[in-house]
Every structure is written in C-alpha cells, then in structure tokens.
Structure 1
Amino acid sequence: DVDVAQVRRLAEKYYGAAAARPVPPRKPRIEPVQTGLRRMDFKAPASQAYVSLSYKVPGLQSPADAAPGAGDAFNRDALALTVLAAVLDGYSGARLERALTQGDNRLADSAGASNGLIGRGPQVFVLDGVPAAGKTADQVADALRQQVALIAREGVSEAELQRVKTQWVASETYKLDALFSQARGLGAYWVNGLPLDTDERLISQLRSISSAEVQAVAARYFSDDQLTLANLLPQPPDPARAKRVPAAGLRH
C-alpha cells in the first residue's frame, strides 16, 4: 500500500547521489582442516542438560563454481545431507523422535537434526538433544550417532525418501504465498552468489536424490575428525544475580 512514484523519488533523493563503484573482492575464509574431535563443556543456569554435535559438511555450490562438466548441477552431497536431516527429523514421528523420545525407556525429551544448505563457506550438520530425567548427555549423543550409523549401514526406505521430498517441495511452494518470503529468498540467493532461480533448480535436483546417495553421505561425513561436540552442564540458579531487563521497544 504505497505510492510507487513517491518511493522512487525518495530512493533517488537519498541514494541517487551515491556513486557506483566496484565491490572489492572478498578475502577467502578457508576453514582449517580439522584433525580430531573438538569438545566444549559450557556451564550455565539451566534445569536440563543439552548436547549438540556439529559435523563439517559441504554447502550448496553455485552452478558457476561447479566442477567442469557439471553443468547446472548443485553439490549433490549437500542435497543428500538435507534429505538425511529430513529423514531423521523432518516430520512428526521421524526416526529420531521414534528412537529417542518415545516409549517407556526414552532417552531424550527432544532430539533434532538439521543441515546448513545455503551460506558462504563450510556448513555444518547438527544433531542435538535434551536428555530425559535420569539420562545423560553422553547417552543421547551416542543414540544420535547410532541413528546416522544405522542409515549408513542400511540406507533409507523409498517411502521415507518420497515423504521428505514431497514435504520439501510443498514448503518451497507454500512460501511463495508471501511476498516477504519471496524477497528474502531472492536476497539470500544473491548474496551467496547463487542464481535467482535457485528455488526451481533445487526442487528439480532434489527429486533425483537416491537412497544410495543418502546412505553414502551418512557414511562419509560423520567421523570424529569432523565433529565438534558441545555440552550444556546445567547449574543451579544464582539467587543473587539480577534478572536481565529486556530493552524497551523490542518484541520477544
């Protein structure tokens, strides 16, 4: 609900005088090769423990940067890792929920998986969980890793594969209902050097990811050499510590 001509006049008034100039090239930010498990224990006031396992994985690749002969192909390992995360935690009753949070002997109050698909530089695949009462963070971490190892050994069913692909396509389609989502998506692709039709290309290429590719990435990227493990060690609250007052005018 704006006057387009007025917006143009304001844009020219405040930005028109800015001279165009070439953007300086980005300095490379190369992540050093990790050669062993990294672990962090963090103490903070909390009622429950929390564990996070982050594995270094490849991100989506611009077609312009793909290997010779790859054409318009994105990095298929990055797409397969995204499918893997969805198989583990992409819907109600997915593998992690069934294995860790359900039943009388459940290990966790919550468990999740996510894959960093789009962004500059290396990405991470994260497994995380909150131990249930009487269980430890180490037990949850072991159980999370076992679920990935199970897929590395046995793969995923065709039914699981089709379910998560259908959900991905649906989510990419529904987000087009909002102009804000469309603009945010275009901006994210542009700043990451990806083509503006990345949505369509992703959907097209994700459909072709096979069970064998998901099984292969589950076996390839989850060694200790690529793992950073973080534990939240819950501490009793300090009654003498003043409560933080949120800044005025912010939404919470």
Structure 2
Amino acid sequence: MRNCRLLLAAITLVTSSAMAESTATTPEKAPSVSEKVLKNGLKVLVKEDHRAPIAVVQVWYRVGTSYEHEGITGLSHALEHMMFKGTTKRKSGDFEVVLSRIGAQNNAFTSQDYTAYYEVLAAKHIETAFELEGDRMRNLVLDKDEFAKEIEVVKEERRMRTDDNPNGVMREQFNAVAYLNNPYRAPVIGWMNDLDHMNLDDLKDWYKKWYGPNNATLVVAGDVDPEKVFELAEKYFGHYEKSVLPEVKPRTEIPQIGKREIRIKAPAKVPSFRMGFKTPGLITAKQGKVEEWEPYALDVLANVLDGGSSARLTKKLIRGKEIAAGTGVGYMSYGRMPEMFIMTGVPATDVSVDTLRKAFMEEIELMKTTLVTQDELDRVTAQVIASEIYQRDSVQHMATTLGMLESTGIGWQLMDEYEEKILAVTAEQIQTVAKKYLNEDQMTFAELVPQSLTEGAK
C-alpha cells in the first residue's frame, strides 16, 4: 500500500476506516447486490445504501503475491505503487489533484490474492472515479525515472515494516518455514533481493498480463443507482478488449508430516512466539474438499480462545495464572487457497516461552476433550454477529467484503450467508475441528529470542 501502509488483509483496512458511518439504531437489512458482467468480462457489483450521500468505488484485480514466483516477489505491490504515476492522458500526480478537488479519499492495497484500488467520495462525483480508474486500467505509463524513485520507497517500506520490526521478521520467517510450495510463503512486499533486481520491464509485463477487464471486478457501494453505475461502467471500461490471461497453475501445499520449529534472533525487548496449524478455508469448503461447516466452526473456535476479555486465553492465562502479557488467535479463511489457524503469545515478566507454550497446548487439548459451554457459544456467536452488523454499517466495509470474496473465487453471495452459518455452529463441531486440525504434526512454531542492538547487528 502506498504511504507506507501495507495491508495483508483488506478487512483490517475497512474496520478501522475513518469513513465508517454509524447509527444509533439497529440497521435495516442491507439491500441485495446488483450484478452485471460486461461483454469484455468485467464484473460489476453494486450495493445500494442510501443512508448518506457517500459512495465507494473499487477496482479489484485478481493478482497478488500468490501469482508470483521466486525471483519476482513483490512485483504486484510495486506495480500498485506505479499505478499512481501517470497515464497517456495524465502526468504523475494528477490523479491525487483531481480527487482532492472533490474531497475524495483514495488509496490501494495488495495481498497474496489481489490488488485493489479505491476512492471514497461524495456519491455525486462517482463518474470522476470511473474516469480515472478506467484510464489507468490500460493506459498506464511506466516511466524509468519514476520507477527508480518509487522502488526505493518500496524498499524503505519493507525496512520499516519488516527488517526493523522483530515481529515482522518473525512473521516473515514463520511463513517461509510453514509453507513449502504454497506461494503464501513469500511476503507481499517481496524479498529485498528481488526488489533489488526488479526492473521496469518486469512491471510492464506484469501490467500487460493481469490488468485487463476480464481479470477485474468493479465494486460500487453507497448512495448510487445500479443502472447508472452500469452505464458508467460501459462508458469508461466497456471499450477495452479482453486480455489473454496466463494459465494459473495449481500450487497446493503438500501435506505436512511433522512439527516444524524455528528460533529467530532479532533486536527486541521481550520474547514472543507464533504458532500456526494448517486449516481449510472457505474456498476448500466450496470445492467440496471438507464439510461446509468446518471453516465456520474454526472461526467460532478462534473466538472462544481469544474473543475479548471473557475469552479463555485472556481469562485464564493473562488474568488468572498471570503467565501471559499478551495473547492472540486468528483464523484466516478468505484466501483463494487454504491458510492457517494462528496463535501468538507474549510471556509475562520472568515467565519462559516454554511455560506459556505449554499452557497454550493445554488449552488446545481442552478444546479437543471437552465441549464448549452453551454460555461460551452464545457469547461468541453474539460477538461475531454484532461485529459483522457493526461493520456492515460502513459502505467501505461492504464494498471491500464483496471485492475480497469475489476476487478469491469464493463468491460475493457468501456475505449474505455468513450470519446463518455462524449461528448454526455447534459445540460438537468445534470439538471436531479442534481434533482434526490443531495437532502438533500440523504445527509450525516460531520463537522470537530477543537480542540487544549490538548482538542483532552481528
């Protein structure tokens, strides 16, 4: 992401968006999504929300780090930066000038699976966003001097977010060990060596391959009329020819057959650890490879362990035994490939990593041997649903959810099914997925061993 903000999950962006609208009353059920596919393959999704005269325009391209190979990591993210550097119609910097004059916000983000560009603006100005996005879809000018400057910006972003951040180093090293042939092993921003050897021809080739209408989804949400949006889409995007897209080879992770462990020595003040278990995602369930309810049960399981002050890890390890200064659990289910169930821990003062790790494993074992209580299930499902309803009060969140689901092959329709699926999760299902997936043979464990600045420089 430009401005030194790299998002690994677009959902993080939208939940903290300053443009999120709130309401004191329970929001009405959101209107249905209007959909149209242009002759050139561009899919257009429109989500009406007339509560405020605001609109969000987003263009999602189905390309990210997971489409790259060794030697060109970071290419999708670098191209994202260059997309703001001018077209055959506009010089570098004009994009921001035009949008600032109408009070619009704009930015972009890259993930493993997609690259997206967005504008948040008054609904009456959406045609301006269409004109700008339509222009740079096929008319980008990739200038040698601009690239020479911008790649240094990307490198500095990497230094700040990863190289000089012990948790960033651990996360990157963890992924590289946890995955063997799954492309999620590479960092979104790219390895520094690949950035050092990236050239302008690499970006030109990448842009030509992937930035076509038949590899994109246009999402518009807010105070808009679907038919008007479709007309604008035809006007500014409909004249482009389909691209000949590269064949995407399957890169399914090979089965893990034993625990993997690494110790990372980096300048840091406190020790910490990161542990992850291979799990299916929503795409796995859609493909019929696992039961449809399994991803939802894993989602609820994550919230039982770490879903607020009443969650098990917080209640038992931070407040109860006082052996943890911090805990975290996250389940990533929205990728175009299966991801992981992640747990993180920071030991309390004078508590070893081994002690806290053992306590984590004991809590996992309890999930396998004892059913969660109905009170826990009610609390977690209420929290998850409340969070989802609150986030849906933001048109930017709604647009981003649509784009993310569509770009990963899951399909935007799942958004309307989410609450029902979460509410249907049972204690027995939670126990089943804990037994099936949270096993040490499926686990990767990374420990951060703090080093002084002097030691870290050696």
With normalisation by structure 2, the TM-score equals 0.48
The more displaced of 225-234 and 118-127 is 118-127
Asked if the contact 1:115–1:124 (Cα under 8 Å) also holds between the matched residues in 2, the reply is yes
Asked if the contact 2:284–2:338 (Cα under 8 Å) also holds between the matched residues in 1, the reply is no
Alignment of 1:169-180 (within 5 A): 169-180=385-396
Asked if the contact 1:59–1:75 (Cα under 8 Å) also holds between the matched residues in 2, the reply is no
CA distance in 2, matches of 1:52, 1:12: 42
Aligned residues: 235
Gap regions ≥5 residues in structure 2:
1-121, 138-236
Code of the residue aligned with 1:109 in structure 2: it is A
RMSD: 2.3
Code of the residue aligned with 2:433 in structure 1: it is V
Q: Does 1:205 align with 2:421?
A: yes
CA distance in 2, matches of 1:240, 1:92: 35
Aligned to 2:353: 137
CA distance in 2, matches of 1:117, 1:196: 14
Code of the residue aligned with 1:140 in structure 2: it is L
Shift of 1:176: 1.5
Match of 2:317 among 100, 106, 126: 100
Code of the residue aligned with 2:324 in structure 1: it is A
Match of 1:112 among 323, 328, 336: 328
Aligned to 2:454: 238
CA distance in 2, matches of 1:113, 1:12: 40
Aligned to 2:400: 184
Match of 2:274 among 34, 47, 52: 52
The more displaced of 13-22 and 231-240 is 13-22
Code of the residue aligned with 1:75 in structure 2: it is E
Q: Secondary structure at the match of 2:412?
A: coil
Q: Does 1:162 align with 2:378?
A: yes
CA distance in 2, matches of 1:229, 1:14: 43
Asked if the contact 1:62–1:193 (Cα under 8 Å) also holds between the matched residues in 2, the reply is no
Aligned to 1:76: 293
Q: Secondary structure at the match of 2:249?
A: coil
Alignment of 1:120-135 (within 5 A): 120-135=336-351
Code of the residue aligned with 1:92 in structure 2: it is S
Relative contact order: is structure 1 or structure 2 higher (C-alpha 8 Å, sep ≥ 6)? 1
Identity of aligned residues (%): 30
Q: Deviations over 1:216-237 (max 9, x none)?
A: 1111112221000000001112
Shift of 1:44: 0.8
Aligned to 1:43: 265
Q: Secondary structure at the match of 2:283?
A: coil
Aligned to 1:3: 125
Aligned to 1:249: none
Q: Does 1:228 align with 2:350?
A: no
CA distance in 1, matches of 2:420, 2:343: 27
Match of 1:146 among 345, 351, 362: 362
Shift of 1:8: 4.5
Match of 2:305 among 88, 92, 99: 88
